[in-house]
Chains A and B, each alone.
Chain A
Amino acid sequence: MRPALHHLGDRSLGPLLIAPVVLVLGTVIAYPLFAAIALSAFAVDTPTLRSRFVGLGNYAELLGADGRFWPALGVTLVWTAATLALQIVIGVAMALLLNRDLWLRSLARSLVLFPYFVSTVVAVLVWRWLFNDMFGLANQLLMKIGVIAAPLDWLGTMPSALLSVIVVGAWKFFPFVVIAVLARLQTIPESLYDAARLDGAGAWSRFRDVTLPQIGEVLGIVVLLRAIWDFKEFDLVYLLTGGGPVDATRTLPLIVYQEAFGLNRMGMAAAYAVAMMITMLGFFLLYRLAVRGRT
C-alpha cells in the first residue's frame, strides 16, 4: 500500500509535519504576546472594549505622569530578590538536611512539600491570622520572649508589611527549591565526599568544593524559574496586603490587575504587562551573560 503522503516531496512534507507545533505555539504564545503588545498601543475601556489608538502614549504616561511604575518596580525587585534569596537559602539547607540519614526521613520529605501544595488562599488566611495584630500568634510569641513590648500591626505598617510578604513567599515556595536540589543531591556519588575527606577537606570545604559545583546547574535553573514566577506573583501579595499599607507593597502585577479591572483601562494594563516583560527580559539577558561568564 502506498502511504497517503507519498506523492508529497520533502519540500512540502517538512512544513506539513511541523505545522501542528507551529499552530499550537502560535495560538498559545505568539498570538497573546502580539495581542498584548498591540493592545498597549490603544486606550481601551474594559467594559465596552471601545478603543482609541494612542501609539506609545500609554508608555509615555507609564514612565512619566503616572508615577506608579518606578516605585512599583522597586517594590517588585525588592520582593523578588529577597524572597528568592530566602527560598534558595532555606531550600538548599533543607535539601541538605533531608539528604542525610534522618529518623523519619520519608515523612519529613513529604511534609516539607506541604506549603507548596496548599492553596494560596488558604495559606494566606492562615498567615493573616498568625500576623493578626489583636490575636495573632506572632505577636503573642514575640511578646512572650520579650522581642517586642506591644503588639505590632504586621501587615498594616512598613517595613513589617513587606517583610511579612517576603517571609510568607519564602515559606510558600521554598519546597520547589528543596525538590529540585534534593533530586540532584541524591545523584552525587558518595565517593566524591570520601575522596574529599581523604584529601583533607572539612565539612565546609566539602560543601563548597563538591556539593555546590554539583548542584550549581540545577540552582541556576531554579533561580531563573523562581525569579520569573516571583516577579509575576500576584495572588499571594494581593491577598496578604492588597498592595498596602497605601502602596508600600504594591508590585507591578497588582497595578496590571488594578488597571485592567479596577480602572477599566485595558490598554494601560497591557502597557504595564509589556513593561514587566521587557524588564524580565533585560534581567534574563544579564543572567545569561553572568552564567556564561562563569563557565
Chain B
Amino acid sequence: MAGIELRALHKRFGTTDVVRGIDLTVPSGAFLTLLGPSGCGKSTLLRMLAGLEAPSAGQILFDGSVVNDIPPGRRDIAMVFQSYALYPHMTVAQNIAYPLRKRGVPRGERDAAVARAAEVLQLTALLDRRPRELSGGQQQRVALGRALVREPRIFLLDEPLSNLDATLRSHMRRELVALHRRIGRTMVYVTHDQLEAMTMSTHVAVIDGGRLQQFGTPAEVYRRPANRMVASFIGTPGMAFADGMVATGRLLLAGRPLALIGAPDGPVTVGIRAEDVEIADTGVAACVTDMEAVGHETLLTLSGEFGTVTARAPADCRLAPGATVHWQVRPAQLHLFNPETGDRRNAALSPITSSNETTAP
C-alpha cells in the first residue's frame, strides 16, 4: 500500500499546458477517482503517475519518496488501459503471467499466481484462449488479472469500463469496489463518468483545464461543490444557475426576494439542484417547457422569470408541456457562487417568513 503525493505537478506538450500545477495528497489504500471532462488532463496525470510521461515540473511521491526518475517497470504499479492493451498473440495465461516473467519469477510460482488471479476473476476456463476470442468484459478481466497478479502497491485504471455495455459496466463497477475492499491497495481511477466516480471512490479529484478544481469525498464534492465548474459537472441532471443579487440582507432573483442572507451586497450566481426543486401550490410560477421520462421519474424543465431550472417529478406525472406550475426551494439548499470567479460563496441562508416578509416564493 502506498500513499500518493503530487507537488506542483506540471505537464506541457509543446506550447500547450495540459496539467497546470496540481497539488494533491492521497492517503494509502484510497480509491481515488480523477474526474473531469474529455481533454482536462486527467489521463496525462495518470500517465505521469505511471511513468509513461515525464512531468515538465513538480514532483510525484509514493510513500514519501520521489519517483519522478524511476522508470515505469520499477515503480511497483500496475495499469489497466482503456483499450485493455492485451498482447494479441499470447494466451490469457501468458498475458497474465507476462509481468511476472519479465521480473524473473520462477515458472512454478508464476503458474500458481496466474491460477490464483484467474480464480478471483473467474478466468480459469479461458486461460488457453487468445484475446480476440474473448468478449469485451472478459478482456477487461484479463487486463485486471495482469495488473493483479504481481500485487503492485498502486493500481492505475484509465477509463477501464468505457468500452463495456451498461449492464456489464454496472456489474464491473461493483466488482472493482469489492476488489478494492478485498486487497486494500491504493487505486487511481480515471473517468469522465461521474456516476462511476460517485459510486466507487473514497476520494474524488475533479480536474478541469489542467487544474485541480476540488478534492474530497464524493459526498463533499456533490453537496459542497467548490466552484461552478464542479457544480455543473457533478450531478444528473446538471445544476441550474441563475443570476441573483444580494441587497440589504436579502437574496433577490429577478428582483424578487428569495431568502434572507448573511452576505454583503452585490451580484451572486445561484445554483439549484433538480432534487431540491419542489412542485408546490405556491412559489415561483413557471412554464413546463420540456419533459423527459427516464423510467423511474420524469424530469421537468421549468422556465419562468427566475430563468430555467430542472425539477424531478414522479414517473406518472400528469403534466404536459405548456402547463403552468409553481415551485419552491428551501434556502439552505441553494448554492451560491461568485459570478466573476465562479468560486463557491458560503453564506447563511434562511427562509423569509411571514413575520419578516410576505412575498417569499
Contacts and interface: CB of A to CB of B under 8 A. Distances in A.
Nearest to A210: B87
A213 B88 contact: yes
The main secondary structure of chain A at its interface with chain B is helix
A200 B89 CA distance: 18
B81 interface: yes
Given A189-B85, A192-B85, A209-B87, A198 B77 contact: yes
A200 B98 CA distance: 9
Contact of A198 (B73, B87, B88): B73
B52 interface: yes
Interface in A171-208: 189, 191-192, 194-202, 205
Interface in A261-287: none
B72 interface: yes
A194 B103 contact: no
A196 B73 CA distance: 8
A208 B87 CA distance: 12
Contact of A197 (B73, B82, B87, B89): B73
A51 interface: no
Give the most central of B50, B77, B79: most A CB within 10 Å: B79
B318 interface: no
Given A205-B102, A213-B89, A198 B50 contact: yes
Contacts of B71: 197
B3 interface: no
A125 B344 CA distance: 79
Nearest to B152: A198
Contacts of A194: 47, 50, 52, 72, 79, 81, 85
Contacts of A198: 50-52, 72-73, 77-79, 99
Which are the 4 A-B pairs with shortest beta-carbon distances? A200-B73, A200-B102, A191-B85, A199-B99
Given A191-B82, A191-B83, A197-B52, 12 more contacts: A192-B85, A194-B47, A194-B52, A195-B146, A196-B87, A197-B72, A198-B73, A198-B99, A200-B73, A209-B87, A210-B87, A213-B89
18 contacts: A191-B83, A191-B85, A194-B79, A194-B85, A197-B71, A198-B51, A198-B52, A198-B72, A198-B73, A198-B78, A198-B99, A199-B99, A200-B73, A201-B73, A201-B98, A214-B88, A214-B89, A216-B89
